[in-house]
Structure 1
Amino acid sequence: MQDFLARYYELDQLKKSIEAELEKMRRILLDKFPEPVEQTFGAYRLKVYEQDRGSFDLGKVYPLLPSDEWRLFVSNPNNANIKQLVKQGVLREDQVAGAYTAKPVRMIAVKEIGGTT
């Protein structure tokens, strides 16, 4: 078991190191490409794009819910729960529109092209 735990610890430390290096490289790429771009560099294609991430203001959503049972359903608040209520017709999209705030997040995708993946 000690060997197993040692390997787990080793991999966890490696993961942290990789994540830190990726974040550093991500910041460099985003500084170099401040606007959305899709460009090829040798065997790699870089795509920098924006994706909307948002969240619901629960203080605005709770009063819209028809009953305490529905408030309990949303007691573990996340976007998926509220979007599900809209999908099921418990809430209307126009009701929750004012409770949703979108924030653009810059994303990076790097793919190898013409090689093996």
Structure 2
Amino acid sequence: MSQLNEISDWLQENLPPLVAEHGVPGAARYPGKYERASATLDVLQGENGLVLDMTPTGPLAGLFPTPPRVDLVPVDDSTFLLRENEDKTWSSLAFHALPTGEEYVHMGVRATPEVSR
């Protein structure tokens, strides 16, 4: 079992930089403000690619600390990985447009609509 743990640790530490080397064509369409009742997600163009700045909102906002700004590591042209607080657990974030043109970002099990660009 320890070999499996070693392999898992290696993948967690090394896989995202490998997929990030290729860049994302068309990623310039994703920066904007996405909002839902409990959070505002600002996707910004950073020095090395996209970054996520998430702000808790609503009646429970004061109960949780504001997460740090994090880099979005590209997996493909609409899917990114992120990790908060240098923890080894990666989360995914995906962008999606409805056939009618509305843009959404999906993080966890929540879809958050874009409210401004």
User: TM range, normalised to the smaller chain?
Assistant: under 0.3
TM normalised by structure 2 equals 0.27
TM normalised by structure 1 equals 0.27
Question: Which has the higher Rg, Structure 1 or Structure 2?
Answer: 1
Structure 1 or 2: larger helix share? 1
Structure 1 or 2: larger strand share? 2
